[in-house]
Copies of this chain bind each other. A is one copy, B any other.
């Protein structure tokens, strides 16, 4: 493949001039420019991005770390990040961290050794301290789904408290009063915030919060099943169960069906994340939309502006609001029908 020298020679100009027309920044006479462009055409010239990177000390690579590649959660986000960055001429290198601290660190080091100009990190095992250290090392990165006060401007998060609030409020608005909650693990901040939102919705409606009606799960469907069994064992049975994520909600649906409970008439179920399969469950799952994909796009914009100094014309938002996507699993509680 032709290189810049051959283009220069054919166009009868110096390679510096060819470089100028490639980058389009500095002024080149229209005539010269045309000659160069024709020469590039004729030789089928394509700038060697590797040489460009070496000479400019900018790799034009953005590294992405997600905890799992093979799940429904991040794929939309990856798609939107890829689109945004490729349109800006950046290459995306994707790695998976497998929710393991050592592997996540290793993946980050891999991305750094790839000479990525910036990283987008969706981590769940790495400590805040490590990330702060990373920022002290002048590594440019954005964090998704994790709030770190010291580097708040590069964190992009969903309003988990609001999401938890909306989920429970949507049940209350339907007339539910006895509402169980299955939470994610309490060491996770998002789980705590979603639960707090749940509490706020109850209080606002004048329903007393009873900690007995909260089961602490682990975000996996099996804990949804266990949570359902637990909530069933209580004195007053719930007419609705709000879950910290969709996986646990499907666990509830499985367990409830196994227990012969009619959904949604006897039990409403609400999830969180609105994953792709929410519409395939039976009944289809009402869930809080997690705008993970928008957050990815925003992180990409932030990098384009902050790292590459490109003005994308987008205002950077760090906090993303949620909304409830209503499907069949939410309805009025049965005692209303009885009236």
Docked pose: A280 CA to B78 CA in angstroms = 24
Copies of this protein in the assembly total 2
Could you list which residues of chain A lie within 8 angstroms of chain B, going by C-beta atoms? Answer: 46-51, 53-54, 59, 68-72, 75-76, 78-80, 82-83, 86, 91-96, 110, 112-115, 250, 257, 276-277, 280-282, 293
Closest to A247 in B: B280
Q: Check B53 against A82 for contact (C-beta < 8 Å).
A: no
A69, A257, A280, A293 interface centre (most CB from chain B within 10 Å):
A280
Q: Check B69 against A72 for contact (C-beta < 8 Å).
A: no
A47, A80, A112, A276 interface centre (most CB from chain B within 10 Å):
A276
Within the complex, the shortest CB–CB distance from A51 to chain B, in Å, comes to 5
Q: Check B115 against A49 for contact (C-beta < 8 Å).
A: yes
Closest to A60 in B: B114
- A76 and B83 contact, Cβ closer than 8 Å, known pairs A50-B59, A94-B92, A115-B48: no
Show 23 residue pairs from A and B whose CB-CB distance is below 8 angstroms, ordered by the A residue: A48-B115, A49-B114, A50-B50, A50-B53, A50-B115, A54-B54, A68-B79, A69-B75, A70-B75, A70-B76, A70-B293, A72-B72, A72-B276, A82-B95, A91-B114, A92-B93, A94-B94, A257-B282, A277-B277, A277-B280, A281-B281, A281-B282, A282-B282
| 5 extra A-B contacts, CB within 8 A, seeds A46-B112, A49-B115, A94-B94 | A49-B114, A54-B54, A68-B79, A70-B75, A93-B93
